[in-house]
Every structure is written in structure tokens, then in C-alpha cells.
Amino acid sequence: MSRYRILFVDDEPDMRDIAVLSLRREPSFEVTACASGEAALEVAKDWNPDLILLDVVMPGLDGPATLARLRQASASAAIPVVFLTARSRPEDVERLMRLGAAAVLPKPFRPHALADAVRPFLVTP
Amino acid sequence: MSGDEEFEAHLSALREGFRARLGAHHASLVAYRKAMAVDLDSVSLGEARALAHALVGTAGTFGFEEVSEAAAELESVIDAVLAGEAERSMIVAPLRSLIREVELSL
């Protein structure tokens, strides 16, 4: 069975806890979480995730700025990034997709459905 | 305990932890409402907006949909005020609604 590494990035501890729990329901997912865009850059470089789930509004390096930095680094340039955002109006989604996101998923999300929601964005190794 | 039962147990524990933290959020919102009552124009909107934004995602994900929806309304009105499209006094009603929804969830 293929295993996938998923990095979840959100400054809200509650959101990290429930996302990690939700994603780990899927046995093939190996999940880690971090609280900032800056930390995400380090984890992406060292851990080489197959998918990054990225909050948009964060203090410091926000989601779009983090995505831009990920794309600049050769080690993380090709990793699919899915934004999770509480602001998912059509114009917001369009703006985030233009930045190179694989998808934009809304917050709140259903804990029972998150693993299935992100599966289409994983590339089979 | 099966995998599903274990998941539900963990989810329930996280939800109750979040509910407990809602009490602190409630205190912050009430303090904000009181500050607005004293001097509407000098209250900083950034902190209230940040809290509302956080509650939209977290409360909804933990199953407190009414809190999430009330927080989204407050965030939207604060954004309109910050954009110069609404008066500061417009914040009062959605702030009260959010406080009420949080109280109902405690």
C-alpha cells in the first residue's frame, strides 16, 4: 500500500488537532502539523511531504506568501498545495488558484470527510 | 475499541476541550462589547476580527455551526467597517449575536 505524507499548516491549535485526527483516520496517511508558514518551509524541506494543506490567514508568513516561497525552493516546488480557508467566496478561490494552488477547500470542514476530500490531490508515488 | 470508535472518542474529547475554551473566547467578546459601549471609536477592530475569523473555522469544524455562522457575520461586518463601507455602530448587533451563540454552546 502506498503511503502519503501530508503536512497541515494552521496557526490555530484546535484546527491542527482536529485535522491531524481526521487525516490519520486514513491508514495510508502519515500526517504532521505546524503552526506557521515559516515552520512549513522547514518541514517541507526536511520531510518532503506529498501534499501540503495550508491555512490562508496566518500571522507572519501567510498562506499565499508561504506558497510563493515553497515554489521558489527546488525541493518543494512541485508539492501540491491545497488551501483551507474560512473565506471561500468565488473571488477568493479564484485569487488563490491563480497563485498555483491545487485546490481551495472551505473551513469549517467535516472531520469525517477531510481524508476523502484531500485524496484526489495526492499523486501516486 | 474499533478504529471508528476510537476516532469518535478522540473527536468527542477534542470537541469538549474546544467547548471549554469557548468560555475564554466568551470573556474576550464580552470585554470587547463593554469597551465598545464606553468608546465605540477608539476600540481596535483587529483583535475582534482575528477572534471572529478563528471561530468561523474552528467552531464550525467542531460542530458549533451557529457560533461559526455568527462569527462569519461579525467578521464580514468588521471587514466592511475597515473598508469604509459601514459604520462602526454596525458591529454591535453581530457582536451581541455571537456572544449569545457562544453562551448557548457553553
Each residue's pLDDT expressed in tens, for chain B with a length of 106 residues: 788 899 999 999 999 999 999 999 999 999 999 999 998 888 889 989 999 999 999 999 999 999 999 999 999 999 999 999 999 999 999 999 999 999 999 9
Q: What do you get for the CA distance between the two ends of chain A, in Å?
A: 11
Nearest chain B residue (CA) to A11: B54
Identify the band that residue A125 occupies on the pLDDT scale cut at 50, 70 and 90: low
User: Residue A57 and residue B61: Cβ atoms within 8 Å?
Assistant: no
Element (H, E) at A104: strand A103-106
Residues 48-77 in A contacting B (C-alpha not used; CB under 8 Å): 57
Q: Are B23 and B39 in contact (CB under 8 A)?
A: no
Lowest mean pLDDT among A47-61, A93-107, B12-26, B41-55: B41-55
Burial of B41 (0-12, 13-18, 19+ CB in 10 A): exposed
CA distance A2 to A19: 21
* Shortest Cα–Cα distance, B47 to chain A (Å): 12
Which of B85, B57, B103, B10 is closest to A109 using CA atoms? B57
pTM for the model stands at 0.93
Measured between beta carbons, the chain A residues lying within 8 angstroms of B59 are 108
Q: List, in order, residues 6 or more apart from A68 with CB less than 8 Å away.
A: A99
Domains belonging to chain B, first-starting first, are 3-105 (1.20.120.160)
Q: List, in order, residues 6 or more apart from A72 with CB less than 8 Å away.
A: none
The reported pLDDT for the residue numbered A124 is 67
Nearest chain A residue (CA) to B64: A108
Q: How many residues does the structure list for chain B? A: 106
